[in-house]
Copies of this chain bind each other. A is one copy, B any other.
């Protein structure tokens, strides 16, 4: 397969998303990018990795020149192409919640990881392209769910000051309805504090509770390419400090939920960290 096809399709996705993140053309382009990725990956071999994460197993794709992709969670990676057709149709018909939480999460995970691993194999040190793709993918799913396009900056009106705050996605459901602040990150690492800081600004400017923060992430795995060991990098104690002292995020959703963050659901005060598929099922309760 011509390696450039994935990049070309990705550029088309980009331009459709920028025109209208809500459009069914974006769904179509996402599906096309994924098909190209699967074609590319079919020509790759796989290699088992050493998992340092309890209860998770990983493999990586390897291309003909021996290059190795990021880690892929075995249990979440789907190979049945029937499921994925149902998934795109469900987005188009706005009926994603008819699929189970696990199905949504795993299909999203597989689609996103297909693209990320292909970029790993085609490019060197490119974190930006997977990150931007992930924003489009997640942005499109939220946009079709809410039925409105996101904004990416907010007016900060404050007496004599009139500034703009750049944000990740903001979905404003209208007067007397919730507004959603949705930062999207493939992984968080040490920069995640900016998510709580932005939430704090929104709380300060508009009033606490008006913006519901839903941080949405891919995973926290890190593969050591020399030893082939895969770990999850998590900072649960710091997250608790941020949630206590900076601002309150309503939910943190993951496509591949890290084991150590899962535990934060059960210590008081709780941080609610769930699989991304949960959003489509628990949505009504977020509005209460």
Chain A interfacial positions (CB closer than 8 Å to B): 156, 158, 161, 163-166, 190-191, 193-194, 196-198, 200-201, 204-205, 237-238, 240-242, 244-246
Contact = CB atoms under 8 A, between A and B. Distances in A.
Contact of A242 (B164, B193, B197, B244): B197
B191 A246 contact: no
Given A194-B197, A200-B197, A238-B165, A158 B244 contact: yes
B245 A200 contact: yes
Contacts of A191: 191, 194
Contact of A196 (B158, B197, B245): B197
A35 B173 CA distance: 61
A156 B241 contact: yes
For the residues of A in contact with B, the DSSP-based class is helix
Nearest to A235: B166
Number of copies of chain A assembled together: 2
A244 B197 contact: no
A242 B237 CA distance: 24
Nearest to A156: B241
B205 A163 contact: no
A245 B194 contact: no
Contacts of A204: 244-246
Contacts of A205: 241, 245
8 contacts: A156-B241, A165-B238, A166-B190, A193-B197, A197-B242, A201-B245, A201-B246, A205-B245
A164 B196 contact: no
Contact of A240 (B163, B190, B245): B163
A204 to B, nearest CB: 4
A125 B81 CA distance: 41
B200 A246 contact: yes
Given A204-B244, A245-B205, A238 B194 contact: no
Contacts of A201: 241-242, 245-246
A210 to B, nearest CB: 14
Contacts of A163: 237-238, 240-241
